[in-house]
Amino acid sequence: MDKITSLSTWVCIIFFVAANLQPIRAQQESTKIKYKASVVEYDKKVGGGAMRLLNNVEFRHAGAIMYCDSAYLYNKENSFEAFYNVYINQGDTLHLYGDYLEYNGNTKLAKMRSNVRLKNKETELFTNALDYDMGSNIGFYRNNADIFSGDNELTSKKGYYYADTKHYLFQDSVVLINPDYIIYSDTLKYMNQTSIAEVFGPTTIVSDSNTIYCEHGWFNTIDNTSRLTKNNRLEDPERILWSDTLLYDRDRGIGEAFSFVTMFDKEENMLLKGHYAFSDQRNDKALLTDSALFIQISEEDSLYLHADTIQMYTDTVGYRVVRGYYKVKVYRSNMQAMCDSLVYNVSDSIIRLFHEPVLWSEQHQITGNYIEMLTDENSVNQMNINENAMIISQNDTARYNQIKGKNMVGYLRNSELYRINVMGNGQTVYYAQDNEEIIGVNKAVSSDLVIYLDAGEVNRINFKTKPDATLYPLGMAQSEELVLKGFQWLDNRRPKSKHDIFRW
């Protein structure tokens, strides 16, 4: 009974093993290279039991069909060598041509050599040596290749082709030539189906209109749009733009920049900064906002201007115009200003301040409904104060010299007021001094007058018409007599440094 049981057990084990060996054998057989040819012969000259295949040679393995004129098949190693007119086809994903092929069925690695051409619907690649992994569907080369896709021509020293996702990864001395520009990059990823190129590492894009540098971003080679996201720099003959992120439409000449944006105007030596910028190259317009800053660069004393929005464009006669909108503040060491909006036109070198403008020059505070600053070589030499013009200077903590009129013209020499013409409704409150001691306060009214200053202090007043004037001994005048209508001392809003222009 024990013998019968033992025998039955062994029979079951044998059948179980045999049943499970069948799929293993089937799997092993499926990994063997299948072949056919017009002529098949054993070649004694070649070691390893090689078979020589001639004419209409065809191999099948790993879902691919391989053709050639002649081949050596090594059955034991499950590999072959193919010669002349070699072609590997793997559906629509792979068309690979060459003069010589080494193929290993165990590793599924194809090594194509000499006059290699890799082709799909969108691109063609040419090189002298390319390895292709049939298992992962990845091809790679390490010794230069030329790739053509539509109007694009690309070269690189190393590269990879991913058949499943239909994209290339190019490395080392990458050059992409497009009819509109040339890209030089360290690493570039190219998507066949979308014609989008993504770059990694130092990259330069050169065109007739500008040059772009970045270290990461993508380019659509069909519609010429791009998004650059690291260390971006765009330069054309007129300006340079830096930013963290740059969106650029080359065909329309429109760019948008985000985060730490800097724009330099070469012709006018102007610098624009902010966290958002819009540029229209065709119409020569630029706009900045979000901590927007304009700098008129000067070796001696640069001018700093902040506003909610700063716009720069070229007028109809070809001159630059700069506009500042809302909460404008200006700082230069010898002059400061604030207003609601400002216009600077390079053609006449006039800075125009609108809506409750205030201008500070040395110890003087200047206000009016509308102020013009006439500049020459980045220095103000004349100020036109229009409507409700008033100039105030502080004598001490409680006393203020005041000049008021309908309109005024102030003249400057070396950025210092030396003469003020008052036209219409002229009024003055002036503290008279003798040896730096205040002896009284003079209040005068005259339709027109000229005030001369020396080192910022009133030296003399020339009344064009007979004035109505009163000299009050110190402490004898009523307080309301010492303050002209519309008086406001705004020194707490005066920018004391270039950083102060961001404080409103």
DSSP 111-128: EEEEEEEEE-SS-EEEEE
CB of 220 within 8 A of CB of 194? yes
- What pLDDT score does 398 carry? 80
Counting Cα atoms < 13 Å in the Cβ hemisphere of 412 gives: 19
Choose among 178, 179, 96: nearest CA to 141.
Answer: 96
99 pLDDT above the threshold of 70:
yes
Strands 34-36 and 39-42: unpaired
| Domain, as residue range, for 378 | 306-482
269: in domain: no
250: in domain: no
Average pLDDT score, the chain: 87
Q: What angle do CA 182, 217, 272 make, to 5 degrees?
A: 90
Question: What sign has the CA pseudo-torsion 309, 374, 425, 361?
Answer: positive
9 pLDDT above the threshold of 60:
no
CB of 331 within 8 A of CB of 498? yes
The 10s digit of each residue's pLDDT in 21-73 is 444 433 444 489 999 999 999 877 766 678 999 999 999 998 899 999 999 99
345: in domain: yes
Q: What is the DSSP letter of 8?
A: H
Q: Give the whole-angstrom CA distance, residue 272 versus residue 287.
A: 9
- What the block records as the tokens of 309 is 């929005």
The 10s digit of each residue's pLDDT in 435-478 is 777 888 888 898 898 989 888 777 888 888 888 888 888 777 77
Please report, for residues 128, 217, 304, 315, 437, the alpha-carbon distance to residue 431 in angstroms, rounded to integers and kept in the order given: 93, 66, 34, 47, 10
- What the block records as the tokens of 178 is 């497009």
207: in domain: no
Q: Which of 122-126, 131-135, 390-394, 412-416 has the lowest mean pLDDT?
A: 412-416
- Strand, coil or helix: what is 36? strand
Which CATH number fits the domain that encloses residue 417? 2.60.450.10
149 pLDDT above the threshold of 70:
yes
19 pLDDT above the threshold of 80:
no
329: in domain: yes
- What pLDDT score does 18 carry? 41
Domains: count for the chain: 1
Q: What is the DSSP letter of 15?
A: H
pLDDT band at 13 (very low <50, low <70, confident <90, very high): very low
Quote the percentage of the chain above a pLDDT of 70. 93
Residues written for the chain:
504
Q: Give the whole-angstrom CA distance, residue 60 versus residue 30.
A: 10
247: in domain: no
Q: Give the whole-angstrom CA distance, residue 130 versus residue 98.
A: 9
Choose among 233, 205, 234: nearest CA to 219.
Answer: 205
Please report, for residues 142, 179, 236, 237, 326, the alpha-carbon distance to residue 289 in angstroms, rounded to integers and kept in the order given: 47, 34, 22, 24, 11
As a dihedral over the C-alpha atoms of residue 453, residue 458, residue 461, residue 467, rounded to 10 degrees, the angle is 150
418: in domain: yes
